[in-house]
Structures are given as C-alpha cells and as structure tokens.
Structure 1
Amino acid sequence: MATEALQVPPARAVKRLGVVGLVATLTGQGLRSFSRNPIALFFTLAMPLFFLAIIGALFGDVRVGPNGDVRLAEFFTPAMAVFGAVEAAFCVLAVDTALLRERGILLRMRGTPAPPWVILAGRIGAAAVVAMVSAAVVVATGVILYGVRVSWRSLPAAFATLLLGVACFAALGLAVLAVVRTSVAAQALTNGILIPLAFISDVFAMNTSMPVWLEHLGSALPLKHFATAFAQTVGPSASGTGLPADHLAVLAAWGIGASLVAWRWFAWEPRGCGSAVASAVAAPERSTAKPLHAVRLRRPAPWTSVRIQARYALTGLIRDATAVFFTVIFPVLLVALMPALTTGGAGQQTEAARLLLPGMSAYGIAVTAYVILPSGVAEARERGALRRLRGTPMPPWAYVAGRVTAALLVAAATILGAAAVAVVGYGVRIEIGRLPATLIAFAVSVGCFAALGFAVLTLARRSQAITALTLGTLLPLAFISDVFVIGADLPSTLDVLGDILPLKHAAHALGEALSSASTGAGFAWGDLAVLTAWGVAGMLVARRMSWQAEAG
C-alpha cells in the first residue's frame, strides 16, 4: 500500500475534515495504492483462493468429524480466510510502511498538521479493509463452490473476531518496523515468520500430530488462536452468537504487547543511510580516471563477460532478502518441517523427507529460474540497463549466460540445503553413484525454466506483471505436480495438465536421480525429454525478446 503519491491534506483541510474524515482520507489513499500493487493483490487475495481451490479439488469431498458429516473444505475455508487477512494486516502493512519510511515519505507526513497516530490509523485502516475483503471473498468462494455452511447467527461474532485478529497482527506488523531497518528486511521477516507459523497453527496443516514443543509453540503464538476463534464463529463448529473469549484474550494480549513495542521504538525517519550519505557528500573522493581519449577500449573475453554478469546478478539476488527466502530458505524449511508433522514414527518421517526432497528441489529451481530471473531482467530493462548493454562490446548471449549461471548457483544452494536437512535430519540415503544423473536432471531443469522465464519476458513487458504472471502460474502448478501434494488422486483434468507441464517432470527426474529405492543409473529419460522440449520452445519464443523498455 506504499506509494509516493500519499499526501496529507493542508492544515485548513485538516481542520475541516476532522479526525474521522482525515483517517478516512488516508485510508482511501492507502486502498488506492494497494489496488495498484499486483504483488500485494496476489498474496492477500489470489493466493488464499488458489490454496482453497487446490485443496477443494483434492480433498473437498473428504468427510471428517465424529459422525463423518463435515466436509474438509469447511475447515479449510476459515483457515484460508485468516491467512489472507494476516497477509494484509501483518506482511503488507509492515513492508509498505517500511518502504514509505525508506523514501522519507513518513518523515514528511510526520511534519504535517495531522497527528502521528492519525497517519498510522490510516495505514492500519487500509490494511484492515483489505483483510476484511480478503476474508469475505474466501468465505464466499467456499460457500458458493464447496457448499461451506455458515452460521448466520454467529456472523457478528465472526466480524468481531476478525476485527480483533486484524488489529492484533497490524500491531505486530508495526512492532516489526521497530526492529528492522529496511523494507527488504521487513518482507523477509514477516513472511519468514508467517509461513512456517501457518503449518503449526491449524492453517495449512489441521489437527496434525506434531512434536510436543511445536504444539506448545503454536499455542503460545497468536495465529493459531486467530484461526481457531474464526473457525468457531464461522465454521462448521459455530454455535450460538457467543465470542470465543479465551482465544480473543490471547489475541488482545499479543496486540497490546506489540502496540507497546511499536509505541516505544517505532521510528519515522529512514534508518541506516544518513551517515553514509553525509560522509559521501562531505568528502567526495578525488577522481583518478583517465580522460576518455586516453582509455583504450578492448572487447572482454566472452567468458569474462559471463563471469562478471553472473557475479553481478548473484550479488543483487543475495542482497534481496525476499528472493533468498523464497528460493532457498522456504523449500529447505518445508523439508525440515513437513516430515516432522508426519505420524507413524521415524520410518514414516524418513519416507516423507525422501519424497519431499525432489519436489522442493524442483520448486526451488522453478522459483529461481522462472520467477526471480525474469523479474530481475525486467527491472534492468525498465531502468534502461539492457539497452545500454547492447551498445557495449559485450555480446547479448554473455548477459543471458551470466544470469542463467547465477540461477544455477542459487538453485544448487537450494538442493544442497534440502539434501543436507533430509540426510542429517531424517536419515535419507542418497547414492553417490547417481551424481551424474542428478547433475543432468538439475541442469536440464534449470535450463528449461530459465528459457520459459525469458519467454515470459518476451510476452510481458512490466516487471510487476511478469512477477504476478510467473507466481500466479507456478504456485497452483506446484499442487498438481508432486511438489506440495505428492501422489494424490487428482481429477483427470488436473492430472493430465500436470503431465503436460514441466514442473512435475522436473520433480520426477530429480526424484529418480536422488532416490535410493529405484534401480539403474537414475536417468529419467522421458522426463528429461519433456523438459528439453519445453526449454527449446521457451528459447524459440525468447529469441524475440525486446531489450528496450516499453515507452511510457
């Protein structure tokens, strides 16, 4: 919801509007900014709906409960509604407010006639409206598509529960701003907290037998209480019009504590850049560069150009905490966490880790090469960097090869991290003799998704549209490609779609190479052929990629 266009009305208008009118004005500005942010729209609205749609397709008709008369979709609908609301109130609010602070907008707003608390109330109000809309859309989708039953008598209690939960997580989002310095750190921290927490808080995994310490941790933190309280007021267990006072008390306690932290340590001015800027201005270095006519330009060696571009791309990616989280930390975290939630002892946990390892490796490869790579190239194109590179001695293929090399290195870090967790944590065996097959499956998968990423760059021009398109196709595809859901009995249409598209073949090729249960050298030739075909098709499309930013 952050944008440079946010403005506080002048002093005369502030007096005329009053406190309520001013909060409403700032809330409206925040909502307009949110509507222009496709990434925020995706995570708060589209992502919960994607999860609900896939879970509904896979398990919507599964009956649970004491009498077997409650469909599983009725339990997951409130959980997905809470997840979308928390994304808006916790993650988006923290990240966008941090971005406003970085750009100095918060500090300028602090110097206006508007009281500081009114400015923050406008930010929280916009986040609350988005959270309410997200929850309402998810619940309505569950009612319309999956026959979710809603207790209409308990809707006032559901609204009050949702309002308190949003207030609690908005306070936690502002508390995060008291301890982080940049918007990148805020994004990494909020998502790094929320996604693992969802697995131990009855959001992504419900009524799962977990280790005792995880049970206690989930019960101590607020997300589980938010999800449980909302389910009790709007889900199949709703009864009467009463409020779940015990869960609401925990939310209120967390909200008050976070508010005190934010009130004490919240900073309005940009952090961590003032001294560096001042020193650079006060004592500029003396230029020792030679005159242009004295410089002899030489064409660098091709592989030197590739190395330089790979190092540049890798440095930029490492500095992007969000990219590091979603490409490396998130897949490794799932390999570490999901088997621990499996019942049946150490043997079942080892088998779960063995099955999860290739899927998470394929997911890390796809995020790196299909989402992060084209997004970075698109941003360079919008800045005019690609057009300027075309005027240098560097051949275009060296730039592409450097970017792909950086993607290879990051994807390799993901696989090594996930394999280390599976081997050390769960005793999964990996055959050294299958290393050639693993390397080939890895290289072909990265090449395939990198080619498809460059193809997306050809079809879409704006970096935000590219990120929304790649994430919007990859996440639902992961549910039908043996990545997030392994070996499920899918509807025939989804099963055929997964067999056609490349992600399932990447997971199967890596699974064949990494598995100690199969025989042979570990080469899944059929899957490798499909990946190669998709990669060639992507390269044919990418040949027409424009290196110049779109006008306007």
Structure 2
Amino acid sequence: MSLAAIAVDRTVLELKMYFRERESVFFSFLFPVLMLSLFAAVFGDSFRQGGSELSAAQFFLPGMIAGGVMLTSFQTLALSVSMERDDGTLKRLRSTPMPPVAYFLGKVGLVAATSLAQLALLLVVTRLVFDVSLPTEPSAWLTFLWVFLLGVGGGTVLGIAYSTVAGSARSAGAVVIGPLLVLQFISGVYFAYGDIPAWLQQVAALFPLKWVAQGMRSVFYPSAMQTQEVAGSWEHPLTALVLTLWLVAGLVLSARTFSWFKRGSV
C-alpha cells in the first residue's frame, strides 16, 4: 500500500476510536457547542460591548471557535498520544511495518476532520438556532481561513509535543486539561479580553489561544469593535506572526521530544 492509502486507513481508524470514547466526544467536540447554547440562553438576545449591541450568541461565538480549535487539536492529541504511549500502543505500532509518518498523518486527519465538523456544527447552531448573521465579505472569510489553519496546525504539533509531559495516562487529564482550562478563562474565550486584569492579559498573550480568539473576533464582530481591543486594532500581522512562531516551535519540539516508548521502558 502507498503511504497515502495507509494514512487514510489510519485516519479512519483514529476517527472510529475517537467517537467511541464518549468523554472525548463530549469534552473536546460537543463542549463548545453546549457552552455557546448555554451562554446564549442565560444572557439572552442583547449583549452590549463597547457601545455595540450584539446577541449573546454572536458575542461568544469567536471564543467558542477558538476554544474548540484548541480542544480538538491540542487537548485531543496531548491526551490520546500520552495514553497510547503509556499503554504500549506506540511501542507496538513502532514494531510494525507501518511507516512512522503514517501514524502522524492519521492524527492530522483526525484533527482536521473533527475540527471542521465541530466548526460546521457551531456555525449551523449559531445561524439557525440563534439567528446570528454570518460575515458576507470574502476578506472576512479569508482571515478566518488563515487564523483557523494556523490555530489548528499549531495546536496539533503542540499537542503531540506536550504529550511527553504527562508521566502516565492516569495523570494526563490533569496535566493537559487543567492548564488549558485556565488559558480559556484568561484568553477571551469566556470573558471579554479587555475585562481581564492586565497582568493576566500579558500571560495569555504568550500563548496561541489568545491570538486565535482575537483573530476570530475580527471575523465575527463589527469592524468598529476593534477599538475595544487592548491595542485598539485587530493586529492581524502580529496574530499571524505569533501563531506561525508557535507552529514552528511545536514542530521543533515534536521532532526533538517525541518518543514511541514510555518513560523507563526499554
């Protein structure tokens, strides 16, 4: 079989395993949709921000997309790879004739499929259930595309690299979910970024989630609302630079730290 055919088969297998795990489906796939629906129901139809009036669904949509990107890429891979390393799955795969790159292509396929499916579900719910108007300008969707791709790409390689941090499958949940949850609260996912204390803004700005959320706000918010950002603009060039740097850093870290064997094994 060709490498492409093996990668496709591996992707299908990864998707089957993913959707068999109800906890993974809920906490990484359905969670942003449920949170968006909850916030929209709690805050109602009118939500004022910086002189502009938005529905709650429109206000929270960029943050939910950004959070979803990190859940389906970073969290999914950091957990699944660490567990597969701990239970010996990676060790067994390494001893098979399957090209090692096919394993990673399967993970990329998993992230791509779940991220796109989650995004489609979020947009459908937002448009049909909460009657939020989506952007019509091609430039807005072009911005959306590069922010989404850089966010998913960076989250994927960083998740693979971060999988080495967990010492065992038992500790993986706390090591992965805890820090990511904190980042969601300080990166403009659940709260207006400008309302977060300045020192926490500086911490959040060191990580990609803040920049994905800001990029998504530039797509789904009225252009006048960029004055409410800390810098007074959407900062597209800086967003692209930061996300690209994290993508490159994730690739380097993955290449240097990835191991097929758990710690202490031969």
Question: TM-score, normalised to structure 2's length?
Answer: 0.84
Deviation digits for residues 346-386 of structure 1 (CA, Å, limit 9, x no counterpart): 99985321221111111112112112222112222223222
Q: Check whether the contact 1:457–1:542 (CA below 8 A) recurs between aligned residues.
A: no
| Distance change >3 Å, CA 397–CA 344, structure 1 → 2 | closer
Alignment of 1:35-434 (within 5 A): 300-342=1-43, 345=46, 350-432=54-136, 433=138, 434=140
Q: For 1:458, what is the secondary structure of its paired residue?
A: coil
Aligned mates of 1:338, 1:516 — CA distance in 2: 17
5+ long unaligned stretches in structure 2 = 225-233
Aligned mates of 1:511, 1:345 — CA distance in 2: 18
State the one-letter code of the partner of 1:421. V
Q: Check whether the contact 1:374–1:454 (CA below 8 A) recurs between aligned residues.
A: yes
2:258 paired residue number: 545
Q: Structure 1 residue 345: deviation in Å?
A: 4.4
2:229 paired residue number: none
State the one-letter code of the partner of 1:524. H
Aligned mates of 1:416, 1:344 — CA distance in 2: 22
2:185 paired residue number: 479
State the one-letter code of the partner of 1:462. S
Out of 518, 521, 524, the position equivalent to 2:223 is: 518
Aligned mates of 1:533, 1:463 — CA distance in 2: 29
State the one-letter code of the partner of 2:120. L
**Which structure ranks higher in relative contact order (CA pairs < 8 Å, sequence separation ≥ 6)?**
2
Q: Check whether the contact 1:371–1:467 (CA below 8 A) recurs between aligned residues.
A: no
Q: Structure 1 residue 340: deviation in Å?
A: 2.4
State the one-letter code of the partner of 1:487. Y
**Identity, % of aligned positions:** 30
Aligned mates of 1:309, 1:383 — CA distance in 2: 19
The reply to whether residue 506 of structure 1 matches residue 212 of structure 2 is: yes
1:440 paired residue number: 146
Q: Structure 1 residue 343: deviation in Å?
A: 5.1
State the one-letter code of the partner of 1:301. S
Deviation digits for residues 116-143 of structure 1 (CA, Å, limit 9, x no counterpart): xxxxxxxxxxxxxxxxxxxxxxxxxxxx
Aligned mates of 1:463, 1:500 — CA distance in 2: 27
Q: Check whether the contact 1:456–1:466 (CA below 8 A) recurs between aligned residues.
A: no
Q: Structure 1 residue 476: deviation in Å?
A: 0.9
Aligned mates of 1:488, 1:328 — CA distance in 2: 27
Aligned mates of 1:495, 1:458 — CA distance in 2: 27
Q: Check whether the contact 2:82–2:166 (CA below 8 A) recurs between aligned residues.
A: no
Q: Check whether the contact 2:46–2:56 (CA below 8 A) recurs between aligned residues.
A: no
Q: For 1:459, what is the secondary structure of its paired residue?
A: coil
RMSD of aligned residue pairs (Cα, Å): 2.4
Aligned mates of 2:32, 2:25 — CA distance in 1: 11
Aligned mates of 1:487, 1:546 — CA distance in 2: 37
* Larger gyration radius, structure 1 or structure 2: 1
Q: Structure 1 residue 418: deviation in Å?
A: 1.4
Q: Check whether the contact 1:408–1:443 (CA below 8 A) recurs between aligned residues.
A: no
Q: Structure 1 residue 517: deviation in Å?
A: 2.0
Q: Check whether the contact 1:363–1:478 (CA below 8 A) recurs between aligned residues.
A: yes
Question: TM-score, normalised to structure 1's length?
Answer: 0.42
1:450 paired residue number: 156
Aligned mates of 2:83, 2:206 — CA distance in 1: 30
State the one-letter code of the partner of 1:478. Q
Q: Structure 1 residue 523: deviation in Å?
A: 9.4
Query: How many equivalent pairs are there?
Result: 250
Deviation digits for residues 44-70 of structure 1 (CA, Å, limit 9, x no counterpart): xxxxxxxxxxxxxxxxxxxxxxxxxxx
The reply to whether residue 535 of structure 1 matches residue 229 of structure 2 is: no
5+ long unaligned stretches in structure 1 = 1-299
